[in-house]
A and B are shown apart, each in its own frame.
Chain A
Amino acid sequence: GQNIDQPTEMTATEGAIVQINCTYQTSGFNGLFWYQQHAGEAPTFLSYNVLDGLEEKGRFSSFLSRSKGYSYLLLKELQMKDSASYLCAVRYTGGFKTIFGAGTRLFVKA
């Protein structure tokens, strides 16, 4: 199967840094998305990685290691509004189908 694994929940403090990990099966890998989803809302596109390394976009960065089947999303200077679910999603060979993980619920506390 094409399992995508993420921690179910994480808690962090306002102003801190948090890293949300995602592991996936490498066979047929074509690219990896990160999305933010607030409760009751649609996923919001954060990043897309297809090559190894770190991509930074403001307070959010995403890292990919294709050989290890591993990615993480790094959130800096956490704000209360960052409390949300973070979804890791992988595009496999064929190019169009995207498989989502169950998401990591992040709680940011004061």
Chain B
Amino acid sequence: EPEVTQTPSHQVTQMGQEVILRCVPISNHLYFYWYRQILGQKVEFLVSFYNNEISEKSEIFDDQFSVERPDGSNFTLKIRSTKLEDSAMYFCASGDSLNEQYFGPGTRLTVT
């Protein structure tokens, strides 16, 4: 059964550094999402991506963040100048319609 994959599973970075989190959505899906979940808190929507552009973003998704779909399979989230409070699990999700979202296993980002 097709799955969303994410790399790396765990990323440790120093405050102020840039990180790129990578996702490979399920191959025939058209809708892509990034979420984050701070330890012990609720899942938070960051951004959605459809038809090669951002379709919606949350207040969290400010100039520090960017997304890209550089080719037909990858979907990346870049976080510039990381802060301590960016430490969280980052989940990528995809769906072939708006009626479903399948999550990847997540990347645990630790900012020290």
A residues whose Cβ falls under 8 Å from a Cβ of B: 31, 33, 35, 41-45, 48, 50, 87, 89, 91, 94-103
Are B98 and A101 in touch, CB under 8 angstroms? Answer: no
B102 CB within 8 Å of chain A: yes
Q: Which residue of B has the minimal Cβ distance to A100?
A: B43
Listed by A's residue number, 13 A-B pairs whose Cβ atoms lie within 8 Å are A42-B91, A42-B106, A43-B91, A50-B99, A95-B55, A96-B31, A96-B48, A96-B55, A96-B98, A97-B45, A97-B48, A99-B45, A102-B41
Given that A48-B100, A95-B56 are known contacts, is A41 also in contact with B105, CB under 8 Å in the complex?
A: yes
Are A103 and B42 in touch, CB under 8 angstroms? Answer: yes
Top-4 shortest CB links A-B: A96-B48, A96-B56, A42-B103, A100-B43
Give the number of A-B contacts (CB < 8 Å): 52
Interface size class of B (residues with CB under 8 A): 20 to 34
Are B91 and A96 in touch, CB under 8 angstroms? Answer: no
Name the A residues within 8 Å of B105 (CB-CB).
Answer: 41-42
12 more A-B residue pairs beyond the given contacts A42-B106, A45-B103, with a C-beta to C-beta distance below 8 A? A41-B105, A42-B103, A42-B105, A44-B103, A87-B42, A95-B56, A97-B56, A98-B33, A98-B45, A99-B45, A100-B44, A101-B42
Are A96 and B100 in touch, CB under 8 angstroms? Answer: no
Are A87 and B101 in touch, CB under 8 angstroms? Answer: no
Tell me the B33-53 residues at the A interface (CB within 8 Å). 33, 41-45, 48, 50
Given that A31-B98, A44-B103 are known contacts, is A96 also in contact with B50, CB under 8 Å in the complex?
A: yes
Name the A residues within 8 Å of B33 (CB-CB).
Answer: 96, 98
Are B56 and A45 in touch, CB under 8 angstroms? Answer: no
Name the B residues within 8 Å of A41 (CB-CB).
Answer: 105
Q: Which residue of A has the minimal Cβ distance to B39?
A: A40
Are A87 and B43 in touch, CB under 8 angstroms? Answer: yes
Name the B residues within 8 Å of A94 (CB-CB).
Answer: 56
- Contact for B101 among A45, A50, A101, A102, CB less than 8 A: A45
Q: Which residue of A has the minimal Cβ distance to B92?
A: A42
B104 CB within 8 Å of chain A: yes
The listed residue with most B CB atoms (<10 A of its CB), out of A41, A95, A97, is: A97
